[in-house]
Amino acid sequence: MAKIVCVLYEDPVDGYPTSYPRDDVPALSHYPGGQTVPSPKAIDFKPGTLLGSVSGELGLRKFLEGLGHTLIVTSDKDGPNSRLERELPDTDIVISQPFWPAYLTRERIAKAPRLKLAITAGIGSDHVDLQAAIERGITVAEVTFSNSISVSEHAVMMILSLVRNYIPSWQWVGKGGWNIADCVARSYDLEGMNAGVLAAGRIGQAVLRRLAPFDVKLHYTDRHRLSPAMEKELKVTWHPTVESLVQVCDVVSIHCPLHPETEHLFNDTLLAKMKRGSYIVNTARGKICDRDAIVRALKSGQLAGYAGDVWFPQPPPQDHPWRTMPHHGMTPHTSGTSLSAQARYAAGTREILECWFEHRPIRNEYLIVDGGKLAGAGAHSYSPGDATGGSAQAARFKKH
């Protein structure tokens, strides 16, 4: 029998919900492009409930304990005395979400000799040292496409919030004011601007499609260029480098995976090549941007705004400068964990586990590392190497 450690974010401060604003969520059968939604043999939860926090348990306890396995669910993940670290020596499977990631560094993997499978409940497995997983023969899998549209909706919302200066305007209402001039002094129309995405995969394409009705000029760069037919359909201009993209764009939305080639990509040098007063929205990974370079660009006016829901590490320490930098629209990592998305990635996590225990192949599109090499979606999206360095700083979150 296996021991599974599932790391999830904490319950709401007022306790686990006893009711919800809506009675249901739309039921999907396919994603755009035809990929089917997760298809486990059964689920033990109601879609639309809070599954991603500790009490939700991704709806897995009845299933796993019914098979005789041991399930440990915790939010205590950071630092040498965390529950996660204490459980690693005899753990077979670790499940985590990108929003509250269980950083599986090389050092932690070395402490887990029985670890054979790391599952990301959602999209993005950079919290696992993929190089160490390759060397150890650990399978890494994630529920691709489960929350791609969720993230794309969040990105478009943030683009509009920055360009229209929504957040400061909302704040004036709470202050009892009617300060129209203050609100509009940084407010523009998105119409006619040049908007680009870094990486035109599932999320990037969804953002392009959702921006098109705003009559913007669309651009993208990607290591895998779209087909001429797709570029024509999307009415999008391809750029061979990220430098050529950012030089023409008023808005850049980041959607590439984090790996050694993209770590700190948006540094002082690249930011200096952007149009003065441009905007960045980052719903990919915080470490794609150089933390302090972003702060400097906002303070100097090189950037007019920066928004996103991804940080490094996660959760960020209380003194992380993105909490207090000017003209930002940061949120906790929430874009891909709406109640709608949770139903899909919880079902996908169960599907992966069913395949694992029944010795059936895991869907190729769910695989990141398998058989000692990048595989499936991982071979398409990642490069060998490690991007988990510095994640131990997450332990500082609760030390203030």
Distance of CA 306 to CAs 77, 143, 252, Å? 28, 28, 10
363 is catalytic: no
The C-alpha angle with vertex 301 and arms to 222 and 180, in degrees rounded to 5, equals 110
285 is catalytic: yes
Tell me how far the alpha carbon of residue 250 is from its chain's centroid.
Answer: 23
219 is catalytic: no
Task: Check: CB of residue 235 under 8 Å from CB of residue 258.
Answer: no
Catalytically annotated residue among 282, 314, 327, 344: 314
| Beta-carbon contacts of residue 208 (< 8 Å; ≥ 6 apart) | 197, 200, 218, 220, 234, 236
Which SS3 state, helix, strand or coil, does residue 175 take? coil
Q: Say which residue the tokens 């069913």 belong to.
A: 354
Positive or negative torsion for Cα 154, 159, 164, 169: positive
The structure tokens listed for 358 are: 């029944």
Catalytically annotated residue among 97, 131, 147, 282: 147
Separation CA 220–CA 226 (nearest Å): 10
Which SS3 state, helix, strand or coil, does residue 174 take? helix
Positive or negative torsion for Cα 287, 199, 297, 334: negative
Catalytically annotated residue among 127, 328, 333, 350: 333
Backbone dihedral region for residue 38 (phi beyond 0: left; psi -120 to 50: alpha; all else: beta): beta
Catalytically annotated residue among 108, 202, 239, 285: 285
The C-alpha angle with vertex 204 and arms to 262 and 251, in degrees rounded to 5, equals 80
| Beta-carbon contacts of residue 66 (< 8 Å; ≥ 6 apart) | none
Distance of CA 375 to CAs 140, 364, 372, 384, Å? 9, 8, 9, 11
For 398, other C-beta atoms within 10 Å of its C-beta total 12
Separation CA 292–CA 271 (nearest Å): 12
Task: Check: CB of residue 338 under 8 Å from CB of residue 25.
Answer: no
Residues with active-site annotation:
147, 285, 314, 333
